[in-house]
Amino acid sequence: MTISIHQTPKNILPTQEQAAVAQASCEVLASLPKDQSYYNIEVMENETQGKKVTIPAPALDLLIEILAMMGQGNTVKVTALPKELNISHTADILGVSKDYVWSLLDAGQIPYKIAGNLRTMHYEDVIEYKNRQDTARMKALDELAAQAQELDMGY
């Protein structure tokens, strides 16, 4: 699932009051211990009536992220991603072109299967590839920073 910020006429921006409530709610939820699989939350309809709901920890993490964005005055749109991704979904997640995704698949960098005439990838495999690339980039940046310090190239 992805969360994106949209500010189009179709979406209504939160009022200042709603943004403040969202920010306060975000802070409360973010302070909860992160060692739970599920959270029990009571949603109050008014001062005396409410309902208890149980939500999985990943859903609470998304709710916190949504509230943080709303707290900044942004409109939020949540889009579900399928377990099986096509070339376009994968390109969007990786922030690359579809042609580049094809080259990654052909090079065996991301596992895929062929369904009909389409190549599909598991979401987990795409994220694993992305994490490997991000780790390699950070390592390279750390090495460059260390070399710059050794050569006294700092500002």
Q: Please report the sign of the dihedral spanned by the C-alpha atoms of residue 60, residue 62, residue 68, residue 74.
A: negative
Q: Is residue 155 included in any domain, yes or no? A: no
| pLDDT bracket for residue 155 (50, 70, 90) | low
Q: Output 6 or 143, whichever has higher pLDDT.
A: 143
- Convert the pLDDT of each residue in 12-69 to its tens digit: 789 999 999 999 999 999 999 989 999 999 998 888 899 999 999 999 999 999 999 9
The verdict on 45 and 92 lying in the same domain is: no
Give the total number of structural domains in the chain. Answer: 2
Domain span at 117: 84-150
pLDDT of amino acid 9: 47
CATH number (domain holding residue 113): 1.10.10
Per-residue pLDDT at 1 exceeds 60: no
Counted residue by residue, the chain has a size of 155
The verdict on 21 and 39 lying in the same domain is: yes
Closest residue by Cα to residue 67 from 93, 38, 41, 45: 41
| pLDDT bracket for residue 105 (50, 70, 90) | very high
Per-residue pLDDT at 123 exceeds 60: yes
Of the three residues 79, 94, 113, the one that is the final residue of a domain is: 79
Closest residue by Cα to residue 85 from 104, 59, 63, 60: 104
Of the three residues 79, 101, 128, the one that is the final residue of a domain is: 79
- Convert the pLDDT of each residue in 75-103 to its tens digit: 888 888 888 999 999 999 999 999 999 99
Q: Output 123 or 150, whichever has higher pLDDT.
A: 123
The verdict on 68 and 99 lying in the same domain is: no
pLDDT of amino acid 3: 54
Of the three residues 79, 114, 137, the one that is the final residue of a domain is: 79
